Chain A
Amino acid sequence: DVKVTQSSRYLVKRTGEKVFLECVQDMDHENMFWYRQDPGLGLRLIYFSYDVKMKEKGDIPEGYSVSREKKERFSLILESASTNQTSMYLCASGPGSQPQHFGDGTRLSIL
């Protein structure tokens, strides 16, 4: 079974802090994704990566950056957290144009 693990289920940070969300997958997938999920808006893609050190902007990249130094790990960085970044963040991985496997999500609150 594919396992996508996100480092925290719940996280509370303060405005202006630099925040790191970590995601690890154990199936050697090329592609990894970061989404945010807000009620009524579904899943919106922030960034994705198709290889180590490669990254592509998604639909809402502003205020975020990512890092992929190893194939199994994909990090989402909030450079200076703001209250409008309070949300559920979901990481996913997948082999090419195939089903994406999601982690359990991190509920992030910015105070």
Chain B
Amino acid sequence: QQPVQSPQAVILREGEDAVINCSSSKALYSVHWYRQKHGEAPVFLMILLKGGEQKGHEKISASFNEKKQQSSLYLTASQLSYSGTYFCGTETQAAGNKLTFGGGTRVLVKP
């Protein structure tokens, strides 16, 4: 079953913040975040392993709450280059290296 991402879309002004959530019904081993710009391949942003750690990539950070089986991606002081579709990919212990991706969140950052 795919993880559920919310919101499905968000429009921001440059400099504003946003949060994208990813929720799973299964116990997770790790969560991967990717960004895909229009017409391009998805690009890896970060991996979070169980343990509630937080990671960062530029001004994009993420957290992982393994008890809630949920991860959140934080876009801080958004830049025009943050526009794209963000996907979370979840990995369960049993599934090994296989990721199950959410439906994606479209982000548009306006000047």
Bound-state Cα–Cα, A86 to B13, Å = 35
What total of A-B pairs shows CB separation below 8 Å? 57
B104, CB-defined interface residue at 8 Å:
yes
Instruction: Tell me the residues in window 52-111 of chain A with beta carbons closer than 8 Å to chain B beta carbons.
Output: 56, 58-59, 90, 94, 96-105
- What are the residues of chain B within 8 A of A42 when measuring CB–CB? 2, 5, 87, 101-104
Task: Please state if B91 and A97 are interface contacts (CB–CB under 8 Å).
Answer: yes
Task: Please state if B101 and A104 are interface contacts (CB–CB under 8 Å).
Answer: no
* Number of residues on chain B facing chain A (CB within 8 A): 23
* Number of residues on chain A facing chain B (CB within 8 A): 27
Interface of A: prevailing SS = strand
Bound-state Cα–Cα, A103 to B43, Å = 10
Task: Please state if B42 and A31 are interface contacts (CB–CB under 8 Å).
Answer: no
CB distance from A30 to the nearest CB of B (A): 8
- What are the residues of chain B within 8 A of A31 when measuring CB–CB? 97
B96, CB-defined interface residue at 8 Å:
yes
Residue of B nearest to A41 (CB): B103
Task: Please state if B99 and A90 are interface contacts (CB–CB under 8 Å).
Answer: no
Task: Please state if B32 and A99 are interface contacts (CB–CB under 8 Å).
Answer: yes
Residue of B nearest to A58 (CB): B98
Residue of B nearest to A4 (CB): B41
Task: Please state if B44 and A44 are interface contacts (CB–CB under 8 Å).
Answer: no
Bound-state Cα–Cα, A42 to B8, Å = 11
